Amino acid sequence: MRPLINIAVLVIAFTACRKESRIDIPYQGDKIVLNSLIQPDSLIYFRITRSKPVKEYQNLQFPEIKGADITLLENGKRLPAPVWKVINGKGYYVSQAFAQAGKQYAVRVAYDGLTSVLAADSTPGHPEISDAFAQKTANRVRFTLRDNAAERNYYRIRVYNADTVNGIVTPMKRDTVKFRLDPSFNNNFFDVIGNTYYSEVLLKDDRISGKEVQFVLQTNKQVTASYMMVEVSNLTESAYKYLDNTFAQRLENRLEFSLQPVDIYSNVTNGYGIIAGVNARVLSFAVE
Amino acid sequence: MSLFGRFLLGMLLISITVQASEWDWRTRVSVVVTDQPLETVCVILEKQYGIHFSYSRNIVDLTPSVNVNVQNKPLKKALEEIFSPFNIHFARIGDQIVLTVRNTPTYTVSGYVQDARSGEKLIGATVYSPTLQIGTTTNQFGFFSITLPHDSAGLFFSYIGYETGRLPVRKSEKAPVIIPLQPRSSLPEIVVVDSSRQHAEHLNFNRLNVSAAAIKSMPRLLGEADVMRTIVALPGVSGGLEGAGALYVRGGSPDQNLILLDGTPIFNVSHLFGIFSVFNPDIVKNADFYKGAFPARYGGRLSSIVDISLKDGDMQQYHGEAAIGLIAAKAMVEGPIKKGQTSFLVSARRSHAGTLNDIILNTSAENTDSKAYVYFYDANLKVNHIFSPRDRLYLSAYVGQDKLSVRWEEKQENTGSNTGYYGDSRSNFLWGNYTSTLRWNHVFGPKMFANVTGNYSQYYFSTDYKYNYKPVNSPDTAVLSGKYYSRIQNAVGKIDFEYRPQPKHTIKFGTGAITHIFTPGVSVFQDNGKGQPAVDTTYGDVSTIGQELLLYGEDEWHALHNLWLNLGIHASSFLVDGRFYSSIQPRLGARYQLPRRWVLKGSYTHMNQYLHLLSNNGANLPTDLWVPSSGSVKPMFSRQGSFGISKTSRYGMYALSLETYYKTMDHVIEYKGEAASFTGAGRDWDEIVDVGKGRSYGGELMLEKKKGTTRGWIGYTLAWSDRTFPSVNNGKTFPYNYDRRHDLEIVITQKLGKHWELSANWEYASGRPLTLPTASYEGIGEPSPYDPPENDPILDHLGERNKYRTAPMHRLDVSATYTKKKKLWTKSWTFSLYNAYNQQNPFYYSIDTDRQKQERYLAQVSILPILPSVTYAIKF
């Protein structure tokens, strides 16, 4: 969709005019929203909320659903029910054991007055990354990725500035580094010609399948931090589709539905949201 | 014979003799009828004078309408006057006049109708015998053939904007004749419809003719007249998104239109993302548009045929035109290379600096300087050579291109630390068509005409970019480069015959072969700055060749005096990747004339299409990819039936037409999910599309004023169109993207004195389908709650596909042209206002989120406000 929008810029350059529309937007009714990106070697955090009408003039927060009945299965075997916990002011249902790579997780959520929902996905293995490098005052970050030829792989790449806290390199996650990827890898011309930098890049392994490839990321600002981190996540197909479909809304508060009405991918039956496996690896390094 | 039998015969003969004495050939008769069948004349004579007529209805046709005014004339002379134009012989046998068909020798006249001054062949000129009430029209090359009784009166020739010509009675002649018609020089741009043209209209089943004068008199967008915009203003045709010039005909998509330039298919017909068509209006001679009742000679697309003919070039004198407007400048020159034998025409058009160029793209990055500019050009060349009265050769070529260049430079310098970098990126997007056409006309005899065509057409889209990155104090340079291109090529070899054995039949048949070469998308990227071999990232380097063969035959048959039929069949086959598809498509059309110039018309046609367009749902972009039918995506196929009624006023001043249609479309395609990036359509493109069905039906009303200083039409369309795909919208049928229920177009042109012509075009269309989000919910981007994003993502769930409607659109375009004729040349100024009352019509919708106010709402985005323009043109 992004190429279309970039080209359409020229057409819209004929002084576009924007105003609130009077078209009435119907509401499909309350549904359970189930969200979790399952990271192996970590607890599983389920965020369960309720949907709302699209038009809103007072409060953009979504109501949490507390007291839901949650059933969690790992490879078909029932695990202890996740427990309610408030983290950073928001409520989550947290599993009582760590997730593992290569497992299938299924979740069922029931709540009085709402239709029960079901979702399932697996957890991928971690990506093989190495040799991260950046130089101060330059605006290039490099690392090497070895793609597994035996699988169809999907990746998410992010870069953070970092600092040491008690001798441990810690990412400054609110200070995401915006960058562009060499277009030969993600097949997107517009990353170069559009002069757009992203806080995350998603790609399939179409062009790098089975290869060891040095990625060169160009940052939009000169590297000034003493430490940096490159995070590469292996994604399941569900995770890739969801993150790709929601890119504009998650990161740019934009929704393009008029010219290309394609709904966001969801694997939650009878509800909204996503249950998907991700497996992130991080390279922390000192900037030279 | 028995005795009784002989008695009866004797009585009968006596009776005849007695009766016969009541009239003879000198009996003076008077008969007056107006617009009545010939049979009525016989009935009157029988009633008033006791004259009995005997004839066989299977042999003698007394149904033609006649106007007879015989006053006190001898019977024999009166009957000669009445019956001879219809080739009816009469003889007295006893008390009766027996009517038979006279076996009169006939002769065939054939030739070309052309402009007397320039030699330009006139397409669709009417050839007409008023006494016999038979006629024909010239074909795409200005050729006609008509067979007449030996002693019939002369022929009349007429054409819009020309004085009527006459050819006297002549003996049979094998060589083609040349009929020169004088242009009506005092009213060069006025459309005048001769009354004999009404007759010719019977021969044209559902063909809508768009003349060069009509194209130029329409209001202009940014100063450019446009043939495609004129067609969009006709009922049954929608232009899609505002500003885009794509054709959506009777619920079909733009790829379902076969657009021919001098017989060569054009795959992308627009410049500047659809704002202008690629056809330079100064050299367009004629455009025929079919939206149903497709003649068998056309094939390969489902929804419409636009057959555009360019001027051939003046055979006698040099002429030229030049114009400059806000967007583009253009020039055209035509003239003889050898007088009366060889002519040429050259035209060129290019957008110029000003409105288009130097569109600065906003950029959020610091220290960057981004610039983008866009331009287009097109050029035509045509050479026409007459080898002999029987042989003509036409060579034409077209080249057109749009180019969008984007450049940005960035610089970060830290003078203190001698660090920083320099970046320079240059990208070009190019797209356009090349075509070349060679056509040879040969007249085998007065009744047989042939045209041999060889043509080549290519549409391409390509991009290339270069990016240089150079740090100030580091060898870490990068020299990235890449290119991407997609292409479709088409080579056609075709021979068409036109055989007119009798006035009542025009038989057209032909055969052809088309080679399609599809290259949906190849991309290559390289980084030459790494000092090591680049990873081979060539992608999608696959070409597919499809071979199409076609064979057709059709008969334009004047079956009865008031019934015209077009019976045809089009057969084709397609071989691609080892798969073979074939199709036999019946094409049937009928017109039945009722009294008082009412006409019933109906048609039933099948159409087949072996090409598909991978297109984004919302827009018609140059990046769209043409692909062939594959194993899972079979050729598109449609059936269309239409029925209508029309009425022409007595002198052809007004015409009213009402038509209904029903069309089905099989094997149409739609992306299953999000449309793939145009650079990502590889060999497996057919796995990401769904194959489904389409349906459209509706009615179209057109009221036209064809004569006088005020002309124009009102067109109204009531239409429904939908699509069904197994995996889109949960398999439920949904309205097609451009399913507009009501569409009203009013086009008026007004001549004011000798110099001014005003025109206005007002369109109202009900809202187009819209998919709306029906719920919003919280999203997620992080696995861990300990890394919360700055704002929780808000996502929207889209409801059923195209269940809702945008706001309706309406717009008024006006134009005024001042023309003044000087001694040697004519100048004109055209002032246009697009969207004259600045209506904000919806272009697209989005959900806007205001986190500070904690609000979300639906926003409507409009483009193309009031756009004034001026064009200055000269013609010599």
Predicted confidence at residue B213, as pLDDT, reads: 78
Closest CA to B741 of B695, B840, B659, B808: B808
Q: Say whether both B184 and B264 belong to one domain.
A: no
For residue B450, pLDDT beyond 90: yes
Q: Is B792 on the interface with A (CB under 8 A)?
A: yes
Amino acid letter for position B493: G
Predicted confidence at residue B807, as pLDDT, reads: 92
Amino acid letter for position B385: H
**Pairing mode of beta strands B126-129, B756-765:** unpaired
Domain count, chain B: 3
Beta bridge partners of residue B165, listed in sequence order? B157
**Which among B53, B79, B101 is the end of a domain?**
B101
For residue A7, pLDDT beyond 50: no
Confidence label for B19 from pLDDT (cuts 50, 70 and 90): very low
Does B428 reside within a domain?
A: yes
Amino acid letter for position B627: V
Q: Say whether both B462 and B535 belong to one domain.
A: yes
DSSP string, A14-83: TT-EEEE--PPPP-----EEEEEEE-TTS--EEEEEE-B-S-BSS--PPPB--S-EEEEEETTEEEPPPE
Q: Say whether both B552 and B583 belong to one domain.
A: yes
Look over chain A and give the mean of its residue pLDDT values, rounded to a whole number. 85
Using CA atoms, how far apart are residues A216 and A179, in angstroms rounded to an integer?
10
Q: Token pair 């094409």 is at which residue?
A: B587
* Chain B positions in Cβ-Cβ contact with residue A250 (cut-off 8 Å): 779, 781, 789, 793, 795
Average of pLDDT values for B161-173? 74
Using CA atoms, how far apart are residues A189 and A3, in angstroms rounded to an integer?
8
Average of pLDDT values for B708-724? 94
Lowest mean pLDDT among A3-12, A98-107, B752-761, B841-850: A3-12
Q: Say whether both B182 and B37 belong to one domain.
A: no
CB contact under 8 Å between A19 and B680, yes or no, is no
Confidence label for B299 from pLDDT (cuts 50, 70 and 90): very high
Q: Say whether both B81 and B168 belong to one domain.
A: no
CB contact under 8 Å between A16 and B845, yes or no, is no
Using CA atoms, how far apart are residues A229 and A253, in angstroms rounded to an integer?
26
**Cα B143 from chain centroid (whole Å):** 21
Q: Decide: A43 and A95 in contact? Cβ < 8 Å.
A: yes
Q: Is A275 exposed, middle or buried (0-12, 13-18, 19+ CB in 10 A)?
A: buried
SS3 A154: strand
Closest CA to B458 of B495, B428, B431, B481: B431
**What is the helix (H) or strand (E) element at residue B125, kind and residue range?**
none
Q: Any idea what the CATH number is for the domain that residue B69 is in?
A: 3.55.50.30
Predicted confidence at residue A9, as pLDDT, reads: 43
Average of pLDDT values for B401-417? 75
Q: Decide: B279 and B227 in contact? Cβ < 8 Å.
A: yes
**Cα B60 from chain centroid (whole Å):** 41
Q: What length is written for chain B?
A: 876
For residue B279, pLDDT beyond 60: yes
Does B130 reside within a domain?
A: yes
Domains and CATH numbers, chain A: 32-122 (2.60.40), 128-234+278-286 (2.60.40)
Predicted confidence at residue B169, as pLDDT, reads: 62
**Cα→Cα distances A182→A135, B497, B746, Å:** 18, 57, 53
SS3 A189: coil
Residue-wise pLDDT tens digits, A222-249: 888 889 999 999 999 999 999 988 888 8
Residue-wise pLDDT tens digits, B643-701: 999 999 888 889 999 999 999 999 999 888 666 555 555 667 788 889 999 999 999 99
Pick from A14, A17, A182: which is nearest to B527 by CB?
Answer: A182
**Which among B177, B201, B225 is the end of a domain?**
B201
Does B282 reside within a domain?
A: yes
Confidence label for B107 from pLDDT (cuts 50, 70 and 90): confident
**Cα→Cα distances A149→A129, B160, B535, B750, Å:** 15, 70, 16, 71
Closest CA to B130 of B159, B104, B167: B167
Q: Any idea what the CATH number is for the domain that residue B737 is in?
A: 2.40.170.20
Amino acid letter for position B529: G
Q: In this prediction, what percent of chain B has a pLDDT beyond 70? A: 86
For residue B595, pLDDT beyond 50: yes
Residues 6+ apart with CB under 8 A from B689: B614, B633, B669, B670, B671, B672
Residue-wise pLDDT tens digits, A20-41: 998 998 998 999 999 999 999 9
Look over chain B and give the mean of its residue pLDDT values, rounded to a whole number. 84
Predicted confidence at residue B425, as pLDDT, reads: 80
Q: Decide: B492 and B300 in contact? Cβ < 8 Å.
A: no
Q: What secondary structure letter does DSSP report for B535?
A: P
Report which of residues B777 and B149 the model is more confident about.
B777
CB contact under 8 Å between A261 and B795, yes or no, is no
Residues 6+ apart with CB under 8 A from B773: A25, A54, A255, A257, B796, B797, B798, B799, B847
Q: How many helices (H) and strands (E) does chain A have?
A: 5, 18
Q: Is B205 on the interface with A (CB under 8 A)?
A: no
Considering B67-71, B195-199, B236-240, B665-669, the range whose residues carry the highest mean pLDDT is B665-669
Predicted confidence at residue B615, as pLDDT, reads: 78
Does B225 reside within a domain?
A: no
Residues 6+ apart with CB under 8 A from B3: none
Using CA atoms, how far apart are residues A185 and B735, in angstroms rounded to an integer?
38
Q: Say whether both B506 and B572 belong to one domain.
A: yes
Predicted confidence at residue B582, as pLDDT, reads: 95
Does B469 reside within a domain?
A: yes
At CA B253, angle to CA B247 and CA B259, rounded to 5? Answer: 50
Beta bridge partners of residue B533, listed in sequence order? none
Does B564 reside within a domain?
A: yes
Q: Any idea what the CATH number is for the domain that residue B166 is in?
A: 2.60.40.1120
Does B380 reside within a domain?
A: yes
**Cα→Cα distances B63→B50, B98, B201, B594, B595, Å:** 21, 17, 20, 12, 12
Confidence label for B203 from pLDDT (cuts 50, 70 and 90): low
Q: Which domain holds residue B75?
A: 17-101
Q: Token pair 């290519």 is at which residue?
A: B458
Predicted confidence at residue B490, as pLDDT, reads: 94
Residue-wise pLDDT tens digits, B501-513: 887 888 999 999 9
Lowest mean pLDDT among B13-22, B293-302, B380-389: B13-22
Predicted confidence at residue B385, as pLDDT, reads: 95
Q: Say whether both B559 and B621 belong to one domain.
A: yes
Lowest mean pLDDT among A154-158, B108-112, B765-769: B108-112
Using CA atoms, how far apart are residues B133 and B129, in angstroms rounded to an integer?
5
Q: Decide: A262 and B674 in contact? Cβ < 8 Å.
A: yes
Does B216 reside within a domain?
A: no
In chain B, residues 815-854 whose CB comes closer than 8 Å to chain A: 840, 842-849, 851, 853-854
Report which of residues B171 and B328 the model is more confident about.
B328
Q: Say whether both B827 and B715 belong to one domain.
A: yes
For residue B514, pLDDT beyond 80: yes
* Chain A positions in Cβ-Cβ contact with residue B802 (cut-off 8 Å): 261
At CA B189, angle to CA B185 and CA B191, rounded to 5? Answer: 105
Residue-wise pLDDT tens digits, A242-285: 998 888 888 877 676 766 777 889 999 999 999 999 999 999 88
Pick from B359, B535, B777: which is nearest to A13 by CB?
Answer: B359
Q: Say whether both B250 and B346 belong to one domain.
A: yes
Using CA atoms, how far apart are residues A107 and A105, in angstroms rounded to an integer?
7
Q: Is B804 on the interface with A (CB under 8 A)?
A: yes
Q: Say whether both B129 and B269 belong to one domain.
A: no
CB contact under 8 Å between B368 and A20, yes or no, is no
Count of CB pairs separated by less than 8 Å, A with B:
338
Residue-wise pLDDT tens digits, B821-841: 988 899 999 998 989 999 999
**What is the helix (H) or strand (E) element at residue A192, kind and residue range?**
helix A190-193
Lowest mean pLDDT among B566-580, B597-611, B782-796: B782-796
Predicted confidence at residue B537, as pLDDT, reads: 53
**Which among B201, B220, B244 is the end of a domain?**
B201
Predicted confidence at residue A186, as pLDDT, reads: 52
For residue B454, pLDDT beyond 90: yes
Lowest mean pLDDT among B12-21, B86-95, B314-323, B517-526: B12-21
User: Is the four-CA dihedral B348, B352, B355, B358 of positive or negative sign?
Assistant: positive
Average of pLDDT values for B570-597? 93
Predicted confidence at residue A195, as pLDDT, reads: 64
Using CA atoms, how far apart are residues A207 and A198, in angstroms rounded to an integer?
20
Q: Say whether both B515 and B553 belong to one domain.
A: yes
Average of pLDDT values for B262-267? 93
Tokens of B619: 């827009």
Q: Is A84 on the interface with B (CB under 8 A)?
A: no
Q: Is A138 on the interface with B (CB under 8 A)?
A: yes
CB contact under 8 Å between B775 and A216, yes or no, is no
Using CA atoms, how far apart are residues B326 and B332, in angstroms rounded to an integer?
18
Average of pLDDT values for B315-336? 91
Smallest CA–CA distance from A235 into chain B, residue: B783
Q: Say whether both B121 and B75 belong to one domain.
A: no
SS3 B606: strand
For residue B186, pLDDT beyond 60: no
Using CA atoms, how far apart are residues B263 and B437, in angstroms rounded to an integer?
8
Pick from B427, B617, B861: which is nearest to A193 by CB?
Answer: B427
